[in-house]
Chains A and B, each alone.
Chain A
């Protein structure tokens, strides 16, 4: 073996005792997720701390950000209005749009691409839905109208994805063009019918009501508790069962105490959310119960989590994001997987902007599709999705969306004008990208042997 001059005798040891220069040093060891090697809770937390010290912070930054938002806005908002149930529910509703858009953007980001068109493509889909349910014109059933809206979005995504994968055009440019085209289409769609460009959801029609209730409808408080219990028991039971099965068959599994803590945290979150939502938040009369939008967001989260974590399709998305060449050699059809990801991204954006239309009670040319794209990217990255591809989960979009929603809501309550909201969101995005970039650099220098 050729050695560099001057390094040959530094150790003065025979070869078999010489230090193994290619062995992964401590920093790389710390990259190992703690649940894989820890046998007990104590070991787990030590490994976790080591991992954070090495720059692999996981969801910690987003949790810290959430805590900071709650503490700061809770303290400084007038009369602590930020923490009132009425505002917190409002915050969930506003954040839901960011969450779903961030989950959409996640498909592009995990591939190492970006989709700038989500805001206006989603807005087109939502405008189509809102137009189709209008009793004065087409009066479609709400299921068909929603289907038409999201299918339009999916088709738009297929076209963008095809251009990106087959013609090898950069996603940044293709989706920038898609953003402009969708913006134009959106304004065009709005002008149909006798609504002067403002089709809304007010009026006497079941179809209108259903779209409106996506955001504003509430579930009976008792049913809310029942649903929350079902979710916690179902999810917790499944986690407990699968972890126990893995433990008993000798596979890699977290310690039982850790599984219990995770289930406990899910239960606490469920109880807190339902308790907040079940408080009567109307100043006159009764307004209580969990808004429909929470189970809707949960359903999207569960569906995309299963797709990305538990199916071949999801595995291939991560593989392409991590190493496209490896994926190609493994016989994966890259063009198909990527095109489908752009279609899913646009489809999910359609769901997100439909919730936005419901929040606004209609569609108008005031929709800030461009700004919402940036919020979607920001939310995904803040939640822990990497801008460099290969890393990210649907859950990251939900957590990041809550942070963006919290800032948005808190700044509004403070009476700060919109320019400050932009500045703060931009700063938070910068912080998130910095953390993402630093952790990546830490990982890269950590394993010397990476070539």
Chain B
């Protein structure tokens, strides 16, 4: 078992993945992956294209079923069979495409699929109040009106709405797939600040990113996938850019810093 998996001061990590395997036909997408996601920390999952980042995310989010391996949620073994199971545990995923309906407004998107109803009719007032509270608590204040259609928002605002949608449900783990990929400088900063606020609230955050600037800006921990294997995970301070790039491209490092979880 991974000896170096860093745990928080409170003990066990929120989510613990052990020996997770997933293949698609002859392709082994994930091989014996061990990963810890502690509360109150941002874990960056990095890796080259095809390393298996998205597959791993989807296994956690309930979209894919792993072939082997165990997932522990708050130390209890769990089977996440679908997105609803994940939501029930408190796992929310913000996909790269954000999954927002452009024609609906911010409130409608945030409550999509979980609308509050009163006597069969939508309780818009109550939903609008809660959405406004959530946005305010995340300090998403740049939108002109909470009732404007998502089509009229900028990229950073859309990302913020997607994140707010994810954290509104007492979620404990938020997974974000390339949250800054399509954003400019200012908007990237907005989103990174937002991620830090999630951590400060005590949530576990997993960020998938290609952008090492962002990773070092925001991550407390870094985990590197290489060809379906999780080659290393450790505190961000244990890495430098060079070593992360080496792990990403070769699966190992010649330098000090970061302890491999397994010889690969």
Chain A interface residues (CB < 8 Å from chain B)? 1, 15-16, 18, 20-24, 28-29, 31-33, 36-37, 245-246, 249, 251-252, 306, 310-312, 315, 318-319, 321-323, 325-327, 329-332, 390-391, 443, 446-451
Contacts and interface: CB of A to CB of B under 8 A. Distances in A.
A31 B102 contact: no
B152 A447 contact: yes
B121 A311 contact: yes
A315 B184 contact: no
A350 to B, nearest CB: 24
B165 to A, nearest CB: 9
B155 A315 contact: no
Contacts of B155: 22, 448-451
A36 B156 CA distance: 21
A36 B152 CA distance: 13
Contact of B145 (A22, A252, A319): A252
A20 B122 contact: no
Contacts of B83: 329, 331
25 contacts: A20-B154, A20-B185, A20-B186, A22-B154, A22-B155, A22-B187, A36-B144, A252-B145, A310-B121, A311-B117, A311-B120, A312-B122, A315-B122, A318-B101, A319-B108, A321-B103, A322-B103, A326-B112, A327-B112, A331-B113, A390-B102, A446-B152, A447-B153, A448-B155, A449-B156
A62 B122 CA distance: 29
Interface string B156-195: 1110000000000000000000000011111110000000
Interface string B133-155: 00000000000111111011111
Q: Ordered nearest first, which 6 A-B pairs have the shortest CB separation?
A: A330-B113, A449-B155, A322-B101, A322-B103, A390-B103, A36-B145
Interface residues of B, number: 47
Contacts of B183: 22, 449
Contacts of B213: 1
A329 B62 CA distance: 11
Interface of B: 83-84, 87, 95, 97, 99-104, 108-109, 112-115, 117, 120-122, 125, 128-129, 144-149, 151-158, 182-188, 211, 213
Contact of B101 (A31, A323, A443): A323
A222 to B, nearest CB: 34
B144 A330 contact: no
B246 to A, nearest CB: 21
